[in-house]
Amino acid sequence: MKIGIANDLPLAVEVQRRALALRPDHEVIWIARDGAQAVELCARQMPDLVLMDLIMPVMDGVEATRQIMTGTPCAILLVTASVGANTGRVFDAMGHGAIDAVDTPVLNLNDPQASVAAFLKKIDTIARLIGTRRFIPGPDMFGETWAITRRQRLIAIGASAGGPGALAILLAGLPKDFAAAIVIVQHVDERFAAGMADWLNRDSPLPVRVAQEGDRLTAGTVLLAGTNDHLMLKAKDRIGYTPEPRDYPYRPSIDVFFESVSTVWSGEAVGVLLTGMGRDGAKGLKTLRSKGHYTIAQDQATSAVYGMPKAAATLGAAVDILPIERIAPRLIDMLREKL
């Protein structure tokens, strides 16, 4: 991959350069000393991946991520001294389209490969996801009319790059008495899941917490996948985790969860696929639709990364393709009881 590094600390830049040098298929094409320069260099020479620090002079990594994803979108991995100490900024940047976050590696010259393994693993995963082009569906591709009237109701949501921001908008638009259980599978490292639940709780009228093994689905509660294993529906109304399939680059996988809902859930379900890179969730959304469930994909205009929703639209997996601001009102309308 062609990689750009945005970091104002020479030592951090050098460690990242040395780590990337361990992989001959990676090339550092530019180095930016602040966020503003990163935006400029992306426009001049777009990389496959930007390694973006959060705290920089002139323009921080959050604003740089926003501007890059607006003007010249590409994959962004947040690389900062302490992800845990910057949780709020991490999710702000992920809301603008950053894919993931990792602590700045510390190079051990006695065993350089092992000391940067976690850093390189993140980059390897992103490399497997890159390659999706943007796609604009017709405004009237799907026009079916749906209403949900069964008592057991589940909203299954999948998101990746740009997901935190999209999820915050969606959840903020729901009422406190929303009469359905909500489960979210967001591509995020398990170390950040609890922080993301807290971050979403800032504006959500519904309680958001990390899903635990054996949790029962409850109307008005939002459960967030919380490990690098896949979340799935294991019984009629209980969820849990599984390491299989182990070879999926997406962990946790949206497809795994959607497929389990289509197989196990006995009530009515709605599948929602939001912004994200790659194709995870598209096949599962198609399965939900084929089982008679209502499905939504986020539109291109409001997606930070139009990869997963594009794949769903291409497969005909979405009943409706909507801007993020219209998804919550649509869910509310669908859940009204028929007189």
Residues carrying an active site annotation: 160, 187, 280
Cβ proximity of 26 and 1 under 8 Å: yes
What residues contact residue 163 under an 8 Å CB cut-off, 6+ apart? 94, 95, 186, 187, 188, 274, 275, 276
Q: Considering only CA atoms, which of 248, 230, 247, 228 is closest in space to residue 239?
A: 230
Q: How far apart are CA 200 and CA 307, in angstroms?
A: 23
Torsion angle of C-alpha atoms 312, 316, 317, 321, degrees rounded to 10: 70
Q: How far apart are CA 269 and CA 70, in angstroms?
A: 33
Q: Considering only CA atoms, which of 158, 287, 161, 167 is closest in space to residue 231?
A: 158
Please report the sign of the dihedral spanned by the C-alpha atoms of residue 118, residue 124, residue 127, residue 129: negative
Cβ proximity of 308 and 277 under 8 Å: yes
- In the chain, the largest separation of any two C-alpha atoms, in whole Å, equals 72
Tell me which DSSP letter residue 109 carries. Answer: T
Q: How far apart are CA 67 and CA 70, in angstroms?
A: 5
146 — phi, psi (to 5°)?
-130, 150
Other Cβ atoms within 10 Å of 243 Cβ, number: 10
